């Protein structure tokens, strides 16, 4: 796909979707925790859990007063609660030990936090610190490869290829548009190609088959 078509796709998606996440947060730390919790979980569920959790545990220092089992109990309904509790406590410890209790604002140190993957670091960097980065989750991976924006076999390669085909200034917005499109229209099972806003550009377009 050429860059002009990629630009038209992002412009079309921008007419239908927001360029911010549906997660609630009021600090970089809260966003980081919400993104960790959102793996394999809906944003609505995460918002319910964090509304309670952040009343008392909204800083790494406070979070580290919890034992893993206690935290797992509080985030139980988000799924994968043991792993997520481990990741939250590891990241919180790193923030305290290596960054003086403050979530780093640059992408490389964010990516070094224990329990924080590349996708999570990219989301915090682009959403909270307004940096240029595309976080590739399951929706961004599926949709951008289906459309033909990129043709890659894994999430890292997809991120790097998207960085090449899209203008830097739209990276962060494109991440949100592709997620919303993947959730609402280009779903993993039964994509709604008949009602897709970018059907004419799409390589896959299941309707044509
Ligand atoms: S035409 Fe179908 S496969 Fe292509 S982006 Fe739209 S919903 Fe997804």
Average pLDDT, the chain: 94
CA dihedral sign of residues 193, 198, 200, 201: negative
184 C-alpha vs ligand 1 centroid, how far in Å? 11
Contact (Cβ atoms closer than 8 angstroms) between residue 160 and residue 149: no
Which pLDDT does position 101 carry in this prediction?
96
Percent of the chain with pLDDT over 70: 99
Confidence of residue 109 (pLDDT cuts 50, 70, 90): very high
**Residue among 77, 69, 70 nearest 51 (CA):** 77
Q: What is the mean pLDDT of residues 133-151?
A: 94
Cβ atoms < 10 Å from Cβ of 98: 12
% pLDDT > 90, the chain? 92
Q: How far is the CA of 146 from the centre of ligand 1 (A)?
A: 7
pLDDT of residue 40: 86
Q: Is 198 in the pocket of ligand 1 (CB under 6 A)?
A: yes
CA distance 114 to 188: 30
Beta strands in 63-180 (DSSP E): none
Confidence at residue 209, expressed as pLDDT on a 0 to 100 scale: 52
Is 147:203 a contact under the CB 8 Å cutoff? yes
């Amino acid at each position: 796909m050429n860059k002009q078509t990629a630009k038209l796709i992002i412009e079309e998606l921008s007419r239908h979707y927001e360029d911010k996440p549906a997660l609630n947060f009021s600090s970089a730390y809260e966003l980081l925790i919400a993104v960790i919790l959102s793996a394999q979980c809906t944003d609505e569920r995460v918002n319910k859990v964090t509304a309670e959790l952040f009343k008392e545990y909204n800083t790494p220092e406070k979070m580290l007063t919890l034992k893993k089992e206690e935290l797992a109990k509080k985030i139980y309904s988000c799924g994968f609660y043991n792993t997520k509790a481990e990741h939250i406590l590891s990241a919180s410890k790193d923030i305290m030990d290596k960054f003086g209790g403050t979530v780093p604002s640059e992408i490389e140190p964010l990516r070094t936090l224990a329990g924080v993957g590349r996708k999570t670091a990219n989301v915090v960097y682009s959403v909270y610190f307004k940096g240029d980065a595309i976080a590739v989750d399951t929706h961004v991976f599926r949709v951008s490869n289906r459309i033909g924006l990129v043709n890659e076999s894994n999430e890292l390669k997809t991120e790097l290829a998207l960085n090449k085909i899209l203008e830097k200034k739209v990276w962060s917005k494109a991440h949100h548009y592709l997620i919303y499109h993947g959730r609402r229209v280009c779903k993993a099972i039964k994509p709604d190609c008949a009602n897709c806003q970018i059907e004419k550009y799409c390589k896959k377009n299941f309707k044509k088959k």
